[in-house]
């Protein structure tokens, strides 16, 4: 509704409408009658990635959209992730030949055409029947790195086959080491080169927006969601054929750096920790032999810190001290957002909700459209700033307000 009101105000204030005598009230009637529809009907109609959100909302059941949209408590950290970008300004250069732009990066020795990464999002068949496989096909088409969630609704083997190349595997550890180890070994056997350990949900999360959306969803949720464990994992292939009798939770509260060492000693995969937001933990990650970190607050779904990831990034970069790559997620909606993070030292940018909006609304073509918009906007930001390659983007191009 806020999007509609904003659009009405913009249209009513435009010179064309001002001259025509059309009022905001009359525009509202046109929207209400269906003669004007602000929700896109095809991917190519999107002007920016935010256009996919109302299209996804229209397609999804309330509880499923609520799961995607929710933060915690008052959703203040979700908002903070977006608002944080406004605290940094771009310092652009002029009179540089920007006809050729190179967005390529390297992560752990692998070359990628773009620093834009598909972040792990669970339960993707809740958003579209093709789920993670459609996302993998889009990633293949657009040549993006994909990170697969532990609670994927498609197997890691099927996703890698659809991607045509290895993906990174995200890990939610359980409180049964044998189950956790089995998941790690399965990902390793499938060819995943990197394991991404999520550590930002140990304290639990109070997802009020999700709970409210469930209350307005009239569908019989028990058809798909069986209470308790192992019923919780019955639609998640990474748990197939595992003995879950001793599992009581994901993200157990007793996990410490000792667990990180145990994991490090268990697998030959590179180990990245997702959820680091301080200099201290970045330094410890390096000391503990971790291969990389992702600055993340779980898209505002972990703790209600009211602190954006882009504001956390500088101190994490300082703690890592150039010894390991630092990726980041949280609220990225524009190419200029990505440029700012790259200027502050990020190695790559992970995006979550926007590509799932595209998936929910239009399947694989929607994901491809979202990625295409992001790439186009990042290239434009690079041209506007006078940076012809990712390695030329540095701190001199950004100023903290």
Residues taking part in catalysis? 298
Can you point out the beta strands (E) in 254-391? 270-276, 292-295, 326-329, 348-351
Transcribe 108-131 into DSSP letters.
TTEEES-SEEE---S-GGGT-TTH
Beta-strand pair 348-351/110-112: unpaired
Beta-strand pair 116-118/110-112: unpaired
Cα–Cα distance measured from residue 302 to residue 80, given in angstroms and rounded to the nearest whole number: 13
Contact 185, 210 (CB under 8 A): no
Could you count the other beta carbons within 10 Å of the beta carbon of residue 11? 18
Kindly report the three-state secondary structure assignment for every residue of 185-231: HHHHHHCCCEEEEECCCCCCCCCHHHHHHHHCCCCCHHHCCCCCCCH
β-strand partners of 369: none
- Tokens found for residue 56: 């996804």
CA-based nearest residue to 298, from 196, 226, 372: 196
β-strand partners of 116: 349
Instruction: Label residue 332 exposed, middle or buried (CB < 10 Å: 0-12, 13-18, 19+).
Output: buried
Cα–Cα distance measured from residue 200 to residue 219, given in angstroms and rounded to the nearest whole number: 31
How crowded is the C-beta side of 27, counted as CA atoms within 13 Å? 19
Instruction: Label residue 268 exposed, middle or buried (CB < 10 Å: 0-12, 13-18, 19+).
Output: exposed
Can you point out the beta strands (E) in 285-385? 292-295, 326-329, 348-351
Q: How far is CA 211 from CA 69, 208, 354, in A?
A: 11, 5, 22
Beta-strand pair 110-112/105-107: antiparallel
């Amino acid at each position: 509704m806020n999007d509609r009101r904003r659009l009405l105000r913009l249209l009513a204030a435009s010179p064309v409408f001002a001259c025509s005598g059309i009022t905001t009230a009359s525009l509202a009637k046109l929207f209400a009658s269906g003669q004007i529809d602000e929700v896109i009907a095809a991917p190519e109609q999107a002007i920016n990635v935010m256009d996919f959100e109302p299209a996804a909302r229209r397609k999804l059941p309330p509880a499923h959209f609520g799961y995607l949209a929710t933060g915690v408590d008052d959703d203040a950290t979700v908002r903070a992730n977006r608002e944080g970008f406004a605290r940094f300004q771009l310092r652009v250069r002029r009179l540089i030949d920007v006809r050729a732009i190179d967005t390529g990066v390297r992560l752990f020795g692998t070359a990628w055409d773009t620093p834009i990464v598909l972040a792990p999002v669970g339960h993707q068949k809740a958003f579209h029947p093709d789920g993670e496989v459609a996302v993998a096909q889009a990633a293949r088409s657009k040549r993006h790195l994909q990170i697969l969630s532990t609670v994927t609704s498609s197997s890691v083997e099927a996703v890698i086959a659809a991607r045509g190349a290895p993906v990174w595997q995200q890990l939610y550890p359980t409180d049964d080491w044998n189950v956790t180890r089995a998941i790690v070994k399965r990902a390793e056997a499938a060819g995943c080169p990197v394991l991404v350990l999520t550590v930002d949900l140990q304290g639990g999360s109070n997802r009020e927006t999700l709970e409210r959306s469930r209350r307005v969803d009239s569908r019989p949720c028990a058809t798909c969601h069986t209470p308790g464990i192992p019923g919780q994992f019955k639609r998640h292939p990474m748990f197939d054929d595992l003995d879950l009798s001793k599992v009581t939770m994901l993200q157990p509260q007793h996990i410490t750096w000792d667990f990180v060492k145990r994991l490090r000693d268990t697998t030959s995969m590179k180990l990245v920790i997702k959820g680091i937001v301080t200099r201290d933990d970045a330094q410890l990650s390096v000391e503990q032999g971790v291969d990389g970190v992702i600055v993340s607050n779980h898209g505002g779904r972990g703790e209600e810190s009211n602190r954006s990831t882009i504001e956390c990034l500088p101190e994490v970069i300082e703690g890592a001290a150039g010894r390991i790559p630092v990726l980041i997620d949280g609220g990225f909606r524009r190419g200029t957002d990505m440029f700012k993070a790259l200027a502050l030292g990020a190695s790559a940018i992970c995006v979550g909700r926007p590509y799932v909006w595209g998936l929910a609304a239009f399947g694989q073509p929607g994901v491809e459209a979202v990625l295409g918009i992001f790439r186009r906007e990042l290239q434009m930001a690079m041209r506007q700033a006078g940076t012809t390659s990712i390695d030329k983007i540095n701190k001199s191009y950004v100023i903290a307000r």
